[in-house]
Amino acid sequence: MEPTILRGKPVVQEIEANLSERVKRLLAKGITPYLATILVGDDEASATYVRMKGRACERNQLESRRIHLPETVDTAALIDVIKNLNDDSAVHGILLQHPVPSHIDERAAFEAIVPQKDVDGVTSWGFGRMSLGLRSHHSCTPEAVLNILDHYEVPIKRKRAVVLGRSPILGKPVSMLLLNRDATVTTCHSHTENIDEIVREADILVAAVGKSRFVQGSWIKPGAVIIDAGYSENMGDVDYAACREVVSAITPVPGGVGPVTIANLLRNTVAAAEQMLLR
């Protein structure tokens, strides 16, 4: 039997349809939701993501500003840019495109974003509230994983979920979101032994290791669901062709998690604009 291909497009259409009315209400009150995106350096993949986010903003009547800083910028200068955006009342959301050059203290830069404008859920404040099930802007890619599972009515409760990766903006938050939905979650990382055996126990596998075709078809439990959150040169973290022969459902790369991530970024920016009205 052919597996279900968990395409992101219908999920995006659902999110954007909901956003349309919310944006219209804000525009009627003279408020245009405004996202500022900071790109450091000349990484082509990051530049592509930023362009895609800008086009999505335009399509949904959000204002966007792209701030492109040189590779040589230091942490202090980057934080100064973030602080200026914090103080700009026209800006509702701030996104620091990941990854930044290795000489920058990325965590310090993330923490410089005020929580109200942390529309990618990268601050420790946002992560903590999300993990506790409290109101916050959820991390966009982890939330996209849940959006896709829900849209295609994939059961989460009581399922064994395995997350490959423990990054603070993907692996850790998606593990918390799944745990909050009553999945039994195992988080694997570079020091995990017998990783293939652990993956073979997964009803739901979230691949987020940043290694192309890392997950092999022989690792997969028959009938499992795979959410591939990796992306490198149009390839994900799983061997798609091999895994497709075993799974009941799988996301494509590209066209799976990525577009839903961007839709969530817009949704969080609109929510930030709405919340500013209430303050």
Which of 118, 149, 174 is the last residue in one of the domains? 118
How far is Cα 119 from Cα 149, in angstroms, rounded to an integer?
Answer: 22
Name the pTM for this structure: 0.95
Give tens-digit pLDDT for 1-26. 799 999 999 999 999 999 999 999 99
Strand partners, 40: 69
Is residue 271 over pLDDT 90? yes
Is residue 278 over pLDDT 80? no
What CATH code is carried by the domain that includes residue 104? 3.40.50.10860
Peptide bond preceding 254: is omega within 30 degrees of 0, i.e. cis? yes
Based on the domain organization, do 108 and 189 belong to the same domain?
no
Cβ contact 36:62 at 8 Å:
no
Residue 231 is predicted with a pLDDT of 79
% of the chain surpassing 70 pLDDT: 100
Helix (H, G, I), strand (E, B) or coil at 87: helix
Residue 44 is predicted with a pLDDT of 85
Give the pLDDT mean for 96-108: 95
% of the chain surpassing 90 pLDDT: 92
With respect to residue 21, please indicate whether it lies within any of the assigned structural domains.
Answer: no
Based on the domain organization, do 89 and 34 belong to the same domain?
yes
Cβ contact 162:225 at 8 Å:
no
**Averaged confidence pLDDT in the chain:** 95
Residue 17 is predicted with a pLDDT of 95
With respect to residue 46, please indicate whether it lies within any of the assigned structural domains.
Answer: yes
Amino acid at 116: Q
With respect to residue 106, please indicate whether it lies within any of the assigned structural domains.
Answer: yes
* 85 or 44: which leads in pLDDT: 85
Give the pLDDT mean for 235-264: 96
Residue 185 is predicted with a pLDDT of 98
Give tens-digit pLDDT for 176-215. 999 999 999 999 998 999 999 999 999 999 999 989 999 9
Residue 279 is predicted with a pLDDT of 67
Non-local (6+) Cβ contacts of 241 within 8 A are 217
Question: 253: burial class by Cβ within 10 Å (0-12, 13-18, 19+)?
Answer: buried
Residue 232 is predicted with a pLDDT of 76
Peptide bond preceding 252: is omega within 30 degrees of 0, i.e. cis? no
Give the pLDDT mean for 141-158: 98
What CATH code is carried by the domain that includes residue 214? 3.40.50.720
Is residue 277 over pLDDT 90? no
Q: How many domains does the chain have?
A: 2
Q: Among all chains, which residue has been given the structure tokens 């039997």?
A: 1
Q: Of the ranges 65-74, 114-123, 156-165, 228-237, which one carries the lowest mean pLDDT score? A: 228-237
Token duo for residue 30: 């003279």
Cβ contact 215:239 at 8 Å:
yes
Based on the domain organization, do 93 and 153 belong to the same domain?
no
Residue 43 is predicted with a pLDDT of 85
Instruction: Provide the annotated active-site residues.
Output: 53, 97, 120
Based on the domain organization, do 108 and 182 belong to the same domain?
no
pLDDT band at 276 (very low <50, low <70, confident <90, very high): confident
CB atoms within 10 A of CB 82: 22
Structure letter (DSSP) for residue 232: B
pLDDT band at 47 (very low <50, low <70, confident <90, very high): confident
Residue 126 is predicted with a pLDDT of 95
Which residue range forms the structural domain that includes residue 146? 140-257
Based on the domain organization, do 90 and 150 belong to the same domain?
no
